[in-house]
Amino acid sequence: MKIRMKISVVASVLVSLMSTAAVADTYRLTHNTSDATSWQKGAEKFNELLKEESDGDLGVRIFPNAVLSGGDQMKQSEMVGRGDIDFVITSAINVTPLIPEMAVFSLPYLFSNYQQVDNAIQGSPGDKMKDIAREHGIEILAWGENGFRELTNSVKPVESPDDLKGMKIRVAGPMYIDVFDALGANPQQIQWTETFSALQQGVVDGQENPVGSIIVPQRLYEVQNYLTEWHYSYDPIFIGVSEELWNSWDKDTQEVVQDSANKAMQYQINLSREQTKSGIKTLEDNGMTVTTLSDDQLQKFRDATRSVYDAWGKKVGEDLVSDFEKAVDDTSSQ
């Protein structure tokens, strides 16, 4: 009789443990960059908050460097849209093959400062982009920041479009190819995971990315000599979840995930901007020459890329572009 009771107790404990394990769900989260970036820190904060707010029932396993998509940063979002991956942190420009409208964020010289960025992305234009992404199977939970993309190269200081002529520049996507074509450079689209070695081996002369979130943590100062602050394009990131997975959760779970994402991305934005502030000095301390363009110099780049702005504005939708331009103009008048 005692043996049967002991077996019964053990069985009950095992069932209880199995039930607890079944409740604790760990999902897969992919992102483009290494584990040294603010993208990774944002992902880690998201995991931390999920566990806290769900009493350990929810969490994510983080996969940097787009390893779940074989290093293909463009493919990640497609896989999330199909439900093959649960979560993604990626930049808007990397989603344009799947969602062409995402290129609106990165139109050359649309934004000049963070106030304009925040007014547009955290406002109704950003909400419209969430609606568009939902049609492609991705629920955008919150916006984060890659930042204003600055130019680096190993050849010479760049102060005018003429300085870029013939220079081989690694770019992230089709719109940036058109931008650098318009500037007389030789743009080449290369996966981010292959970019450092391409710069190191001289396959390309330069690249463009944000200082705080990419250039400094990825140690590009080891293979680049010059940086030009020209704020030519802004690049947000977002944390998104498979729409299929999102719809499978009850309201309470959705609220936990949403709240965790909001807080994690605000943390990531703050971190990215802090790193950008300190990043210029880090680059100079590591031997890079930093060139900050005057308004007159910037205007020459704006003029040279205006045709790209207009052409891509038509591709992404003139009404959508107008919404973003209005948010920028409203910021200027506040």
| Ramachandran quadrant class, 261 (left: phi over 0; alpha: psi -120 to 50; beta: rest) | alpha
For 8, 215, 220, 226, 274, the CA distances from 286, given in Å and listed in that order, are 67, 12, 10, 11, 19
pTM for this predicted structure: 0.86
For 74, 147, 222, 227, 275, the CA distances from 292, given in Å and listed in that order, are 31, 17, 21, 9, 18
Looking at residue 195, its amino acid is: T
The Cβ-side half-sphere exposure at 148, using a 13 Å CA radius, reads: 22
- Whether the pLDDT of residue 333 is over 80: the answer is no
> Mean pLDDT over all residues of the chain?
92
Q: Encoding tokens for residue 71?
A: 């290093």
The dihedrals phi and psi of 207, each to the nearest 5 degrees, come to -160, 175
Q: For 262-294, what is each residue's pLDDT tens digit? A: 999 999 999 999 999 999 999 999 999 999 999
Residue 206 near residue 164, CB atoms below 8 Å: no
Spell out the CATH class of 2-328: alpha beta
What's residue 52's pLDDT? 98
Give 95's DSSP letter. Answer: G
Provide the CA 176 distance to its chain's centre, in angstroms.
15
Q: For 151-167, what is each residue's pLDDT tens digit? A: 999 999 999 999 999 99
Q: For 60-75, what is each residue's pLDDT tens digit? A: 999 999 999 988 888 9
- Whether the pLDDT of residue 231 is over 70: the answer is yes
- Whether the pLDDT of residue 16 is over 60: the answer is no
Sorted by sequence, the CB contacts under 8 Å of residue 301 that are 6+ apart come out as: 108, 109, 160, 161, 183, 230, 232, 293
What's residue 15's pLDDT? 42
- Whether the pLDDT of residue 3 is over 50: the answer is no
Owner of token pair 């590009």: 220
What's residue 72's pLDDT? 87
- Whether the pLDDT of residue 125 is over 50: the answer is yes
Of 81, 82, 84, 83, the closest CA to residue 68 belongs to 84
What's residue 276's pLDDT? 94
Cβ-based burial of 261 (10 A; exposed 0-12, middle 13-18, buried ≥19): buried
Q: Please state whether beta strands 226-242 and 168-171 pair in parallel, antiparallel, or not at all (unpaired).
A: unpaired
Owner of token pair 């409203």: 330
- Whether the pLDDT of residue 108 is over 70: the answer is yes
- Cα(72)–Cα(165) distance, rounded to whole angstroms? 29
Provide the CA 244 distance to its chain's centre, in angstroms.
22
Owner of token pair 């959508």: 320
Residue 83 near residue 52, CB atoms below 8 Å: no
Among the residue ranges 10-19, 90-99, 193-202, 215-224, the one predicted with the least confidence is 10-19
Cβ-based burial of 252 (10 A; exposed 0-12, middle 13-18, buried ≥19): exposed
Q: Encoding tokens for residue 258?
A: 């949403």
Q: What are the strands, taking DSSP E only, across the chain?
A: 25-31, 58-63, 87-91, 138-153, 168-171, 186-189, 206-210, 226-242, 289-292
Q: For 70-89, what is each residue's pLDDT tens digit? A: 888 889 999 999 999 999 99
Q: Sorting pLDDT into bands at 50, 70 and 90, what band is 24?
A: low
What's residue 172's pLDDT? 87
